[in-house]
Amino acid sequence: VVLLPVGWMVTVALKPDRVPVFTVPPEFFPTRFFAFDNFLRTMTLPDRPFGQYVLNTLQIFTVNLIGTLLSCSLAGYAFARTRFRGRDRLFRLLILTMLIPWQALMVPQFLIFHTVGWYGTYLPLMVPSFFGNAFFIFLIRQYMRTIPRELDEAARIDGAGHLQIFWWVILPLSKPVLAVCAVFVFLGSWNDLLGPLIYLDRNSQFTVALGLANSVTRSGTDWNLVMAANLIMMVPPIVLYFVLQRRLIGGIASVGLKG
């Protein structure tokens, strides 16, 4: 049942331009009309260059990955391995921010970014990642609490400070949870439609999700090319999952073992 829509998508993606797409009964798996050049055509269309959309999305993801891992790991280390006044209250306040839906902040954020002149650029989609994310900070904090504190004490005896302990001791041991965060950041950047729809105004800047949404028109939609683009959009998350599967499952399973 789950694979039937995928089979129909593959069938439509392999059909030539003038072959009917919507048939009765529907063809859920390809039986004829294998037009494999549809995948190449959808990447090089002059009005919808999906190749450029992929590069734009990867650019946003790369900056978001750096910003998220840097800011959230530092905040997670502070909450997990240091002691300061009001730490627990501040952490509870951070968790409470997860209850605020992004849609409630959409208009205020747009007004701020428009006022500073960032509308029409990638900055509104990338800069917020350098200011932390409550969910990722929570994951990293919970994981870092499972690391024995004897490692910190041994490094401190050798003269290491907090930044050195963070960089040389805690961060290398936190690779599983960082891999989990990296996968979520990639999926968020790859599938994000609303953010690019709000802030980007030129076709050359569009991301994969936004370009795919603009491919569907009220009339004259090339469904074979749209479905080919859909399949191309599905490949990177699947490949990423299989590459990081072991770290992903291990990181999720180990988060929260220590309260």
Question: 38-93: per-residue pLDDT in tens?
Answer: 888 888 877 888 888 999 999 999 999 999 999 999 999 999 999 999 999 999 99
Report pLDDT for 77. 95
Residue 235 identity (one-letter amino acid): V
pTM of the model: 0.86
Report pLDDT for 218. 66
Question: 15-28: per-residue pLDDT in tens?
Answer: 888 788 887 887 77
From the CB of residue 134, how many other CB atoms can be counted at a distance below 10 Å?
A: 18
Report pLDDT for 168. 92
- Rounded distance between C-alpha atoms, residue 53 and residue 43, angstroms: 9
Burial status of residue 60 (CB atoms within 10 A of its CB: 0-12, 13-18, 19 or more): buried
Does the pLDDT value for residue 209 go beyond 70? yes
- The average pLDDT across 110-128 equals 96
- Rounded distance between C-alpha atoms, residue 257 and residue 109, angstroms: 36
- Rounded distance between C-alpha atoms, residue 239 and residue 222, angstroms: 27
- Rounded distance between C-alpha atoms, residue 222 and residue 127, angstroms: 36
Chain Cα centroid distance, residue 113: 21
Are 138 and 250 spatial neighbours (Cβ–Cβ below 8 Å)? no
Which among 88, 247, 80 is positioned nearest to 165, based on CA atoms? 80
Mean per-residue pLDDT over the chain, rounded: 88
1 versus 60: the higher-pLDDT residue is 60
Report pLDDT for 259. 45
Report pLDDT for 258. 47
Are 166 and 74 spatial neighbours (Cβ–Cβ below 8 Å)? yes
- Rounded distance between C-alpha atoms, residue 55 and residue 16, angstroms: 27
- The average pLDDT across 223-241 equals 88
Interhelix angle 50-81/208-215, rounded to 10 degrees, is 140
Report pLDDT for 237. 87
- Rounded distance between C-alpha atoms, residue 39 and residue 229, angstroms: 7
Question: 157-192: per-residue pLDDT in tens?
Answer: 988 899 999 999 999 999 888 988 999 999 999 999
Does the pLDDT value for residue 252 go beyond 70? no
DSSP string, 55-109: HHHHHHHHHHHHHHHHHHHHHHHHHHH---TTHHHHHHHHHHGGGS-HHHHHHHH
Question: 120-144: per-residue pLDDT in tens?
Answer: 999 999 999 999 999 999 999 999 9
14 DSSP assignment: T
Which among 62, 66, 61, 102 is positioned nearest to 189, based on CA atoms? 61
249 versus 242: the higher-pLDDT residue is 242
